[in-house]
Amino acid sequence: MDFIFIEGMLVDANVGIFPRERSASQPLEINMTFGVPDAAALRDDIADTIGYDQVVERIRAVLAERQFNLLETLGEFVVALMFEEFNAPWVRVSISKPGVMKNVRRVGVYIERGRNGDEPPRGGGLGPLGVPRS
C-alpha cells in the first residue's frame, strides 16, 4: 500500500465544550496519512489515487458548517469521510488545538483505523512524518 500525507493543515473550526470554545471558531492543526492503491504509482494516473486537494477542500467545507463537541468526534468523522467518500483503505489523523492551555504547545487526538476494522499497516514502524515504513 502506498500513502499520501497532509501535514500542518491549518483550519478554523467550531469545536469544544467550554463556552469560550463555542462562542467563536478556533484554529486547529490537522495531520493525516491515508492509504492509496499501488496502481496510482504504477500507471501514473491521478484517477487511480486520492486527490489531496479534494481531501483538504472537503474537510474545510465540513468544518465551516458543523460544530463538534470533542476532537475525538471530529477525528472519527474525518476517518469515516475518508472511508466513505474517498474509499481510503487506511487512515491516520491527528487533530490538535494549538495554544489552548497555558504552557502547553498543543493538545489533541490521534486516531488510526483500517477499513472494516483491518489492522493498520505494519512492518518497521513509522518513518518520517508519521508515514508507515513498509
Annotated catalytic residues are: 97
CB within 8 Å of 81: residues ≥ 6 apart: 58, 59, 62
CA atoms in the 13 A half-sphere facing the CB of 102 = 0
> Beta strands 67-68 and 2-15: pairing type?
parallel
